[in-house]
């Protein structure tokens, strides 16, 4: 069994060698590593070529900058392995990742997709395992995939394309036109995963941690703007997800409430990440942002009665819609205090 590991690369020379090293240290060696150079500057592009020249398992695809989504699709189109899996250029695979996937595929008659868990790596090197989606290994078929579809509506656990190994032929299924998403810097994983999960007939979930996801302070603020997310939410993402609900046979009041709650949660997340990564004038600007235009009207209407939003979310979203700068400042101050207390508690218990 051969794996194709696809790494989109854009000016990631600071971490790329370590990322590639995690692949070369795999206990299972039947793989190819495809570096998709997404229009990087010369130093990074040259590093990709240097890595390829040093190991015949490494190939490089140079292309104009088009974003991670299409870089991953280009890598999958060029893949020669039985399964494609994805690795971000600043992240790492655990040494036993490929061996664990090979063993799991073998005992499950080569499913169309394998999904696994991951671990957060803080800037100080501390590791925090993500909560597994399920407590034990599970198999999903066309008859039981609604359990997975519902996960898209209740959280972000299925959003990450780098926690999935996918048979090459699954990429040949019926997908929406991804052209509008080329420059997207948020939610591109989610859209790709929704299509892959839909087209995979048999899926196996593994509770093992096989991926190390590195967190970097302020990285989100460099990747996208609220204005870009707003345009995408309204014009592309929401209609696309409504289309998947219809395709999945889940178009009812309950799932619509879940979907709307997930979009409101995303708006709060967007504010949260920007708020913590900017200065006082920037925070004032964020508080004054027209958040009532950030989401489709369906999401905002009657959000106070949405059973899938908790009281804190409703309170924060109300302040966002009211552009309540003082209320938001108090909320984030309290949140920062709680965060520092938790960090101190973790340090004491190490």
pLDDT exceeds 60 at position 220:
no
pLDDT at 350: 61
User: Is the predicted pLDDT of residue 196 greater than 80, yes or no?
Assistant: yes
pLDDT at 186: 64
Of 32 and 270, the structure prediction assigns the larger pLDDT to: 32
Higher pLDDT, 176 or 249: 249
> What average pLDDT score do residues 82-106 get?
98
pLDDT value of position 110: 97
Contact 32, 59 (CB under 8 A): yes
Q: Residue 277 — φ and ψ, nearest 5°? A: -105, 15
State pLDDT tens for residues 286-297. Answer: 899 889 888 889
As a whole number of angstroms, the distance between CA 245 and CA 242 comes to 5
pLDDT at 307 over 90: yes
Position 187 pLDDT exceeds 90:
no
pLDDT confidence of residue 339: 79
Three-class SS of the chain: CCEEEEEEECCCHHHHHHHHHHHHCCCCCCEEEEEEEECCCHHHHHHHHHHHHHCCCEEEEEECCCCHHHHHHHHHHHCCCCEEEECCCCCEECCCHHHHHHHHHHHCCCCCEEEEEEEEECCCCCEEECCCCCCCCEEECCCCCHHHHHHHHHCCCCCCHHHEEEEHHHHHCCCCCCHHHCCCCCCHHHHHHHHHHHHCCCEEEEEEEEEEEECCCCCHHHCCCHHHHHHHHHHHHHHHHHHHHHHHCCCCHHHHHHHHHHHHHHHHHHHHHHHHCCCHHHHHHHHCCCHHHCCCHHHHCCHHHCCCCCHHHHHHHHHHHCCCHHHHHHHHHHHHHHHHHHHHHHHHHC
Main-chain dihedrals φ then ψ at residue 92, nearest 5 degrees? -140, 150
How far apart are the C-alpha atoms of 89 and 6, rounded to whole Å? 10
The structural domains of the chain, ordered by start, are 3-214 (3.90.550.10), 224-349 (no CATH)
Judging by beta carbons within 10 Å of its beta carbon (0-12, 13-18, 19+), is residue 13 exposed, middle or buried?
Answer: middle
The residue with tokens 């925090």 is: 128
Question: Mean pLDDT across the stretch 244-252?
Answer: 94
| Percent of the chain topping pLDDT 90 | 65
Q: What local confidence, expressed as pLDDT, does residue 295 receive?
A: 86
Examine the pLDDT at 29 and tell me if it is beyond 50: yes
- Confidence tier at 222 by pLDDT (50, 70, 90): very low
Give the pLDDT of residue 233: 66
User: What would the pLDDT profile of 46-58 be if each residue is shown by its tens digit?
Assistant: 999 999 999 999 9
Mean pLDDT score of the chain, rounded to an integer?
Answer: 90
- pLDDT at position 132 over 70: yes
* Residues 136-155: tens digit of each pLDDT: 999 999 999 999 998 888 77
Residue 217 banded pLDDT, cuts 50, 70, 90:
low
């Amino acid at each position: 069994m051969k794996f194709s590991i696809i790494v989109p690369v854009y000016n990631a020379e600071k971490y790329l060698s370590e990322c590639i090293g995690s692949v070369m240290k795999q206990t299972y060696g039947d793989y190819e590593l495809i570096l998709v150079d997404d229009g990087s500057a010369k130093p990074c592009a040259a590093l990709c070529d240097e890595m390829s020249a040093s190991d015949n398992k490494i190939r490089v695809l140079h292309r104009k900058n088009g974003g991670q989504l299409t870089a991953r699709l280009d890598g999958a189109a060029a893949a020669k392995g039985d399964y494609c899996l994805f690795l971000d250029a600043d992240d790492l695979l655990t040494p036993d990742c490929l061996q664990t996937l090979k063993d799991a595929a073998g005992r499950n008659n080569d499913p169309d997709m394998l999904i696994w868990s991951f671990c957060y790596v803080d800037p100080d090197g501390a590791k925090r395992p993500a909560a597994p989606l399920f407590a034990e290994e599970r198999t999903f078929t066309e008859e039981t995939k609604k359990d997975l579809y519902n996960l898209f509506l209740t959280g972000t656990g299925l959003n990450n394309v780098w926690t999935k190994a996918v048979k090459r032929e699954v990429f040949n299924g019926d997908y929406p036109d991804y052209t509008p998403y080329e420059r997207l810097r948020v939610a591109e994983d989610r859209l790709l995963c929704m299509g892959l999960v839909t087209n995979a007939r048999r899926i196996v979930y593994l509770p093992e941690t096989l991926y190390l996801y590195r967190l970097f302070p302020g990285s989100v603020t460099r990747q996208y703007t609220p204005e870009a997310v707003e345009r995408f939410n309204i014009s592309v993402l929401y209609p696309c997800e409504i289309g998947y609900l219809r395709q999945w046979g889940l178009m009812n009041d309950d799932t619509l409430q879940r979907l709307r709650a997930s979009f409101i949660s995303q708006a709060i997340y967007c504010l949260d990440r920007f708020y913590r990564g900017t200065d006082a004038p920037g925070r004032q600007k964020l508080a004054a942002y027209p958040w009532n235009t950030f989401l489709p009207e369906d999401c905002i209407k009657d959000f106070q009665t949405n059973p899938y939003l908790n009281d804190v979310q409703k309170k924060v979203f109300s302040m966002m819609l009211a552009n309540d700068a003082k209320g938001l400042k108090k909320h984030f101050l309290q949140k920062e205090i709680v965060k520092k207390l938790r960090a101190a508690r973790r340090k004491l218990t190490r």
